[in-house]
Amino acid sequence: MSHKSTAANVFFVMGVLLAAVGLVLYLTGNAVLFQFSVVVVGPVVAMGTGLFGLRRFARGGIIGHDQFSTMNGLFALGLTVLSLSELLAAVIALVPGQQPSFFTVTLLQFPGVLLWVLGAAGYYHACLDTIGCSSGRKTVALVSAMTAVLLAVLSTFGVEHLGGRNMFELLAYVPTAACLIITILLLLKLGWMFRGGRIRVPLFILAFGAVLFLIQIVLWGTFGIIPIDAVVRALAVEAYVVIGIAHERASRI
């Protein structure tokens, strides 16, 4: 068995085990143990998955010989940055007497997801240049419009649902959610462009990982579920694992 297929098996088993153990703990009423588990595992998985991706795609630097490797390298670097927000969430959850800083947790997530959107946008732009596609402006306009509408709906619902919403929290939430929405739409567009080739698989898997991460952001920003909630952190951890699977699949191409 090759090292690449072994890595794929490790990520797949990790994702299944985390989901299974979390579900068992949740259903058996061990909510505290469930939260402790995902909060502790979060920084480790984010950093480990990020280092795995950097080793695969950024040995000679983040800016690789091709834009596809650069995109994956930026996603991996984003994961290492996100491990800082996971570490802060762990400190808030585990250290007694800490003042909750959920604004800071989300603020620390922004640089990580910004790297994701830069990677996806750079690869999309490179693909348009390569194939000489003239529909790039239409796609950008459509993505911008869809992102604006979705953010307006989520923000409005969040303000109305949560009453006196702190504007500083919205300032952290809205840009982070915007980057994720744009990333997802661009990855889906890229996957559709290459729907007849092998490259579509890692692109769609990356999009799924970004969707999972967006869900946990929306749970806090729109529905007020705190970032250290066990389900929220579990979604983030699963997102990291899914992105790791995407990196493994991408490294085979």
- Highest mean pLDDT (candidates 32-41, 46-55, 123-132, 147-156): 46-55
Do residues 119 and 72 make contact, with C-beta atoms less than 8 angstroms apart? yes
Mean pLDDT check: name the lowest of 62-66, 144-148, 200-204: 62-66
CA distances to 15, 28, 39 from 25, in Å: 16, 5, 14
Tokens of 166: 């702190």
Q: Which amino acid is at 206?
A: L
Mean pLDDT estimate for the chain: 81
- Highest mean pLDDT (candidates 31-35, 170-174, 238-242): 238-242
Q: What is the mean pLDDT of residues 214-226?
A: 84
pLDDT band, residue 11 (cuts 50/70/90): low
Asked whether the predicted pLDDT for residue 186 surpasses 90, the reply is yes
Mean pLDDT check: name the lowest of 53-57, 116-120, 210-214, 219-223: 219-223
- Residues 184, 191: Cα–Cα separation, whole Å: 10
pLDDT of residue 183: 94
Asked whether the predicted pLDDT for residue 239 surpasses 90, the reply is yes
Do residues 221 and 175 make contact, with C-beta atoms less than 8 angstroms apart? no
Asked whether the predicted pLDDT for residue 165 surpasses 60, the reply is no
Q: What is the mean pLDDT of residues 26-30?
A: 73
pLDDT of residue 129: 77
Asked whether the predicted pLDDT for residue 80 surpasses 50, the reply is yes
pLDDT of residue 159: 62
Do residues 154 and 189 make contact, with C-beta atoms less than 8 angstroms apart? no
Q: What is the span of the domain harbouring residue 102?
A: 3-251
Q: Whole-prediction pTM value?
A: 0.86
pLDDT of residue 206: 96
pLDDT of residue 161: 62
pLDDT of residue 1: 43
pLDDT digit string (tens) for 89-136?
Answer: 888 777 765 555 667 788 889 999 999 999 999 899 888 877 766 556
CA distances to 53, 79, 86, 128, 231 from 227, in Å: 25, 17, 10, 37, 9
Q: Which amino acid is at 125?
A: H
CATH number at residue 209: 1.20.1070
Q: What percent of the chain has pLDDT over 70?
A: 79
What total number of domains does the chain contain?
Answer: 1
pLDDT of residue 148: 83
Question: What does the DSSP 8-state code read for residue 4?
Answer: H
Q: Which candidate, 73, 16, 14, places its Cα nearest to that of 251?
A: 73
Between 59 and 220, residue with greater pLDDT: 220
CA distances to 78, 123, 135 from 51, in Å: 10, 21, 36
DSSP string, 134-185: S-HHHHHHHHHHHHHHHHHHHHHHHHHHHSS--HHHHHHHHHHHHHHHHHHH
The angle subtended at Cα 116 by Cα 114 and Cα 118, nearest 5°, is: 70
